[in-house]
Structure 1
Amino acid sequence: MPNQTRAFLLGPLLKGVSRSFYLTLRVLPAGMRDPIALAYLLARAADTIADTSLIPPGQRLALLLSLRERINGTTCDDALIQRVAEEVAGQQIQSDEKVLLESLGPALDVLSQLGDPDRAAVSGIVSTLTDGMEFDLRTFPDEHSGQIVALNEYADLDRYTYLVAGCVGEFWTTMTYAHLPGTLKERPDVMAARGVRFGKALQMTNVLRDCGKDLRIGRCYLPQTLLARHGLDARDLLLPANSMRARPLLIELLRKALDHFRAALDYTLAIPAYAVRLRLACLWPILIGLDTLILLAQNEAWLDPQKVSKVTRQQVYRMIASSLLVAPFDSRVRSAVEARIAQIEARF
């Protein structure tokens, strides 16, 4: 593949579709950057297929499963690329996502050019992430059906957060040991477990932040058992006026998210201070996630999709600037994280 094509995929196109995550990718040490960026691109393409609601869920699922087989090397279905371009790319409102789907062939070529360990790791993580997308398509109704389905138990939510984010923590850890040997202070099994909880922290944040929006496409990730314990059902959450009534449920799930964030802090502090780029790549999503939870804990209309608790781009840039003086010092990293956790808990 020409170098300029690879450079476009892992440069301008990546920036166009990854938004804030692009900042984290760019600060990573060079050896880790390409396989993680490629995994993101492939997963984002799969996610775009899974989320294109103008296409029937069954058709999306068929394309998703075919893409997973192609990424895993169990099929050489060259017609898949054309099918994605014809059936999905033309439905995209965002031009960057359209270009991403039209660039799926070159992205798969880049995957084939990776060394064996990186190729296996990238294929594995994208496969697991597509398991999470398959879970969504099989569990929840068509977005236009007017129906709502809730997960059954907290274990279902916990499994879901692993499939769509916790597994990324494992992958990230694998890439770190492979490309920066001797850097992490803890054993691989300890770091992998913390990495899983790191990813779950970020996805729990997304679930709580996006609850109002997800409900309107028929998806309630807040489990029925928890809803029932607080005297609620999924349709009650459709009413923004019930935000305060549902606040005890929010607090219960915020506590679970904060426990995961504490593991994410331990993960970050296991990265030596001299590996500042790797530390920053972990610290930024933690701080953005906790700042989101601060807004959520303060939001008396958290179920209203018009009042989403979202950190602004300017706030992100200010956090990035201030973190440059924080990351090289264990005490400052711990203080920055624990102060945010305390601010959230003060709202309980």
Structure 2
Amino acid sequence: MPIPDRVFLLGPLLKGVSRSFYLTLRILPAGMRDPVGLAYLLARAADTIADTALIPPPQRLALLLALRARVNGADDGGELVRRLAAEVASQQTLSDEKVLLESIGPALDVLDQLAGADREAVRGIVTTLTEGMEFDLRTFPDERSGQVAALPAMADLDRYTYLVAGCVGEFWTTMTYAHLPGTLQAPPAVMLARGVRFGKALQMVNVLRDCGKDLRIGRCYLPAEVMDRYAFVPQDLLAPANSARARPMLCELVRVALDHFREAIAYTLAIPRTAVRLRLACLWPILIGLETLLLLVENDAWLDPARVSKVSRGKVYRVLAGSVALVMADGALRAWMRGRIARIEARLA
């Protein structure tokens, strides 16, 4: 295929691999789209490397570290590009993922073309996200081993959610201050901290929603510290029939997620009503995340990977339409989001 250029990378290819996140990217103000989109592409390529189970974990880790080094300016003479095409792209069943891995060279060229501050910000976020992927590869057993390992403590879960999502909130906030100066009136330290909690909220949803699936590849993100209080070990959670007995543990972790979501709401409502695009880009993941949590607490088989709590496409479109109608109405937005939290909390009693 022809060498992809900037337009292809940040247009059709990004749309092909980013799925629902592409909606958020499209609504972003123009100056933020390229660095945020490129960061997503590079992180998605790294994630594909880390998740390709047909490749042994040590080989995946070596490729991941090589990509991190290349993102940060190391020159390997094109060795990484060749290895990704030969060792990883050939293993992909999804064509967009294959094209992405074959497009790493041009993507790195686009990174080099970014303005200095944007380039360093993209390097920083990709570095931290790949540290989260490295954490997975070093912490959990090979997906094909039949073994399951759990994170030891809540502090480990908190660190993990920062590495894979909380750091994105920081990056997003940094990009906002850089490309939309004067938009955020709150002090940067306040917004950066809220941005971290925003990302952690979304990742807690992923952890709880995908628990059944993750267990079957040997990964239990529910901390042993929490499971011990409810007399569980990771292997117990492999049985969907234990969903009811494990519900108190689910409720405890949903409360943690809701605390993060309250900070995400504060973050979003601190964005001026006139910054419509930026507001919508923040509202959509919050609203869809809360809808997912509501489905989760209403799911009496939440540990069953065949009954994953997923918001329907129709519901997503209704949420998007409702948010557009209310985007400039702080009171109505606050009532909507608090109402969703109240419904979730009512099911936790």
Shift of 1:75: 3.6
Within 5 Å, which residues of 2 pair with 1:28-47? 28-47=28-47
Kindly indicate whether residue 314 of structure 2 is the aligned counterpart of residue 310 of structure 1.
Answer: no
Tell me the distance in 2 between the aligned counterparts of 1:3 and 1:286: 37
Counterpart for residue 275 of structure 1: 275
**Contact 2:4–2:106 (CA under 8 A) maintained in structure 1:** no
Counterpart for residue 51 of structure 1: 51
Write out the 4+ residue segments of structure 1 that deviate beyond 4 Å after TM superposition: none
**Contact 1:49–1:60 (CA under 8 A) maintained in structure 2:** yes
Counterpart for residue 95 of structure 1: 95
For the residue of structure 2 that corresponds to 1:184, the secondary structure is: coil
Within 5 Å, which residues of 2 pair with 1:170-185? 170-185=170-185
Aligned residue pairs total 347
For the residue of structure 2 that corresponds to 1:306, the secondary structure is: helix
Counterpart for residue 259 of structure 1: 259
2:165 maps to a residue whose letter is: A
For the residue of structure 1 that corresponds to 2:8, the secondary structure is: helix
Tell me the distance in 2 between the aligned counterparts of 1:279 and 1:179: 15
Shift of 1:8: 0.8
Tell me the distance in 1 between the aligned counterparts of 2:78 and 2:3: 23
Tell me the distance in 1 between the aligned counterparts of 2:323 and 2:309: 22
Cα deviation digits, residues 129-176 of structure 1 (max 9, x gap): 000000000000000000000000000000000000000000000000
Cα deviation digits, residues 57-106 of structure 1 (max 9, x gap): 00000000000000011344411001000000011111110011011111
Shift of 1:43: 0.1
Tell me the distance in 1 between the aligned counterparts of 2:4 and 2:165: 31
1:309 maps to a residue whose letter is: S
Counterpart for residue 328 of structure 2: 328
Counterpart for residue 122 of structure 1: 122
2:294 maps to a residue whose letter is: I
Counterpart for residue 220 of structure 1: 220
Tell me the distance in 2 between the aligned counterparts of 1:123 and 1:99: 22
Q: What is the identity percentage for the equivalent residue pairs of Structure 1 and Structure 2?
A: 72
Tell me the distance in 1 between the aligned counterparts of 2:77 and 2:158: 34
Counterpart for residue 203 of structure 1: 203
Kindly indicate whether residue 234 of structure 2 is the aligned counterpart of residue 231 of structure 1.
Answer: no
Tell me the distance in 2 between the aligned counterparts of 1:75 and 1:297: 49
Of 171-180 and 314-323, the range deviating more from structure 2: 314-323
Tell me the distance in 2 between the aligned counterparts of 1:270 and 1:3: 42
- Give the direction of change, closer, same or farther, for the CA distance of 1:164–1:4 in structure 2 (3 Å limit): closer
**Contact 1:148–1:235 (CA under 8 A) maintained in structure 2:** yes
Shift of 1:321: 1.1
Structure 1 unaligned residues grouped into runs of 5+: none
Counterpart for residue 133 of structure 2: 133
Counterpart for residue 297 of structure 1: 297
Shift of 1:230: 0.8
For the residue of structure 2 that corresponds to 1:324, the secondary structure is: helix
**Contact 1:14–1:22 (CA under 8 A) maintained in structure 2:** yes
**Contact 1:152–1:224 (CA under 8 A) maintained in structure 2:** yes
- Give the direction of change, closer, same or farther, for the CA distance of 1:102–1:27 in structure 2 (3 Å limit): same
Tell me the distance in 1 between the aligned counterparts of 2:3 and 2:223: 47
Tell me the distance in 2 between the aligned counterparts of 1:185 and 1:268: 12
2:68 maps to a residue whose letter is: R
1:52 maps to a residue whose letter is: T
Within 5 Å, which residues of 2 pair with 1:149-160? 149-160=149-160
1:116 maps to a residue whose letter is: G
Tell me the distance in 2 between the aligned counterparts of 1:219 and 1:4: 35
Shift of 1:4: 7.3
2:326 maps to a residue whose letter is: V
1:83 maps to a residue whose letter is: R
Kindly indicate whether residue 136 of structure 2 is the aligned counterpart of residue 147 of structure 1.
Answer: no
Of 123-132 and 317-326, the range deviating more from structure 2: 317-326
Cα deviation digits, residues 171-219 of structure 1 (max 9, x gap): 0000000000000120000000000000000000000000000000000
For the residue of structure 1 that corresponds to 2:271, the secondary structure is: coil
Tell me the distance in 2 between the aligned counterparts of 1:72 and 1:155: 29
Tell me the distance in 2 between the aligned counterparts of 1:277 and 1:77: 41
Tell me the distance in 2 between the aligned counterparts of 1:191 and 1:260: 13
Kindly indicate whether residue 92 of structure 2 is the aligned counterpart of residue 78 of structure 1.
Answer: no
Tell me the distance in 1 between the aligned counterparts of 2:120 and 2:222: 33
For the residue of structure 1 that corresponds to 2:305, the secondary structure is: coil
Cα deviation digits, residues 101-138 of structure 1 (max 9, x gap): 01111100000000000000000000000000000000
TM-score, normalised to structure 1, is: 0.98
2:38 maps to a residue whose letter is: L
1:229 maps to a residue whose letter is: R
Tell me the distance in 2 between the aligned counterparts of 1:267 and 1:145: 42
1:332 maps to a residue whose letter is: A
- Give the direction of change, closer, same or farther, for the CA distance of 1:287–1:95 in structure 2 (3 Å limit): same
**Contact 1:70–1:77 (CA under 8 A) maintained in structure 2:** no
For the residue of structure 2 that corresponds to 1:325, the secondary structure is: helix
- Give the direction of change, closer, same or farther, for the CA distance of 1:88–1:4 in structure 2 (3 Å limit): closer
1:274 maps to a residue whose letter is: T
Cα deviation digits, residues 23-52 of structure 1 (max 9, x gap): 000000000111000000000000000000
